[in-house]
Amino acid sequence: MANSIQSVRGFGDVLPVDTPVWQFVEDRLRATLERYGYEEIRLPLLEKTELFSRSIGEVTDIVEKEMYTFEDRNGESLSLRPEGTAGCVRAGIQHGLLHNRQPRLWYAGSMFRHERPQKGRYRQFNQVGVEVFGLPGPDIDAEVILLAARMLRDIGLEDIRLELNTLGTPEARAAYREALVAYLRGYEDRLDDDSRRRLATNPLRILDTKDPDTRALLADAPALADWIDDDSRAHFRELCAMLDRAGVSYTVNPQLVRGLDYYGRTVFEWVTDRLGAQGTVCAGGRYDGLVEQIGGRPTPAIGFALGIERLVALLQDAGAAPAAPAPDVYLVVAGEAAGREALIIAEELRDALPGLRVMTHCGGGGFKSQFRRADRAGARFAVILGEEEAARGEVGLKDLRSGGEQRTLPRAELVTTLQELDMGTAPGTTI
């Protein structure tokens, strides 16, 4: 046997035992987005590298060291998307969606970052994201937060902490950045390595550090909150008032700065302690300068993205993951002719009862092993077709749950009998 080939590190498979919870999450999220009037947009996995360096930021971790970047056969630098916002903005500009309109968009799909894989952190991961364009006021900030809160609620996740902050305008941030750098330069030798590097490149990210000594230094550092401009402050106050009015609980976290450069004003994250170090399940914020930065007209915008792997892990850890739907009917056959006829019966059942889950046996084998497979599939009923029954136009029916007797009935009555048993009328049963 040849050596088997393994998947690429950080690129996972979602196995059949797990796809039901993925489908549950994806279906619920889509339904909630539709209830808010958001429209789906589908975006390519691959973009020009420049799109990401111009938007996410040249000196962010993502662009500096996490992108899957390569030259294609024409020598053009391309990157697998590390997130969805940049591509969504690019598409909005390219197709004129942002002109005189205020689209509210959502997308779902895989993103790629060459991070160190661990629980909750993968190199290919999935997001459902939302982007809204053309609306500058705090009302839309409140709406996207209410939307994200409901998306989490609708998949059964109630107790996740919402943290909010305002970063102010780019000018306010630049002034704060200078003050922070001036302060930290005085303690450069006491900073952790990452923070020392960031001092020159992306000093605001130092506020995110987990290093205890650097954190201690930050306690006396200038606070971003003191540098926020009056308009941004008023915007944030109004947003908080709307959230209070809507009964959304949150904490203001002045240290929350986010790892992408395009944010200004409102930023937010939903965080849980139940996932270890990778506890952020949803994150986003306002990015009023990005559309212009990518070549569009000045257009305010706000959005967020949910990390699907983390939502799935939370449901699984809580034992709340839905199981695979089981077949209602499993067709058990004896002999080749009956086997062929069973395929026809299965099709007739599917035609007559669109809600019915019907599984055919295929592959031969004795009755006993077929019943074992029917059991393993979790089927509710076995429909049995032996050579004699087939010849007489009859079928057997056995309730696999009650363990009752098998009965024989005319094949023509199978549909009505299953209907009387409430099979195929409602969406299938689950195991």
Residue 295 in contact with residue 93, Cβ under 8 Å?
yes
Residue closer to ligand HAM by CB (options 243, 283) is 283
Q: Determine the interface stretch with ligand HAM among 13-21, 119-127, 206-214, 234-242 (rule: CB under 6 A).
A: 119-127
Judged by CB under 6 A, the chain residues 193 through 212 that form the site for ligand HAM are none
- CA gap 266, 258 in Å, rounded: 11
| By the rule CB under 6 A, 112 interacts with ligand HAM | no
Least Å from the CB of residue 86 to ligand HAM: 8
Least Å from the CB of residue 52 to ligand HAM: 11
* β-pair partners for 307: 127
Strand (E) positions, 237-328?
251-252, 266-271, 280-286, 301-307
| By the rule CB under 6 A, 305 interacts with ligand HAM | yes
Residues counted in the chain: 431
| By the rule CB under 6 A, 67 interacts with ligand HAM | no
- CA gap 331, 361 in Å, rounded: 6
Q: Tell me the three state secondary structure of residue 428.
A: coil
Q: Which of 205, 310, 380, 398 binds ligand HAM (CB under 6 A)?
A: 310
Residue closer to ligand HAM by CB (options 63, 338) is 63
| Site map 120..159 versus ligand HAM, x via CB under 6 A | -xx--x-x-x-x----------------------------
Residue closer to ligand HAM by CB (options 133, 187) is 133
Q: Which residues contact 282 (CB under 8 A, 6 or more apart)?
A: 148, 151, 152, 160, 269, 270, 304, 305, 306, 307
For residue 153, the tally of other CB atoms under 10 A from its CB is: 13
Task: Kindly state the DSSP code that residue 260 receives in the 8-state scheme.
Answer: S
- CA gap 179, 200 in Å, rounded: 13
| By the rule CB under 6 A, 284 interacts with ligand HAM | yes
Q: Which of 134, 307, 327, 339 binds ligand HAM (CB under 6 A)?
A: 307
- How far is CA 77 from each of CA 47, 50, 57, 80, 370, rounded to the nearest angstrom? 9, 8, 16, 11, 55
Least Å from the CB of residue 127 to ligand HAM: 5
Q: Determine the interface stretch with ligand HAM among 171-179, 278-286, 323-331, 401-409 (rule: CB under 6 A).
A: 278-286
Residue closer to ligand HAM by CB (options 163, 309) is 309
| Site map 356..395 versus ligand HAM, x via CB under 6 A | ----------------------------------------
Angle, to 10 degrees, between the axis of helix 193-201 and the axis of helix 170-185? Answer: 130
Residue 289 in contact with residue 296, Cβ under 8 Å?
no
Q: Give the amino acid at 311.
A: L
The residue behind tokens 């498979």 is: 13
Residue closer to ligand HAM by CB (options 276, 355) is 276
| By the rule CB under 6 A, 83 interacts with ligand HAM | yes
Closest residue to ligand HAM: CB criterion: 307
If we measure between CA atoms, which residue out of 319, 286, 317, 321 comes closest to residue 28?
321
Rule CB under 6 A: which residues touch ligand HAM? 83-85, 113, 115, 121-122, 125, 127, 129, 131, 280-285, 303-305, 307, 309-310
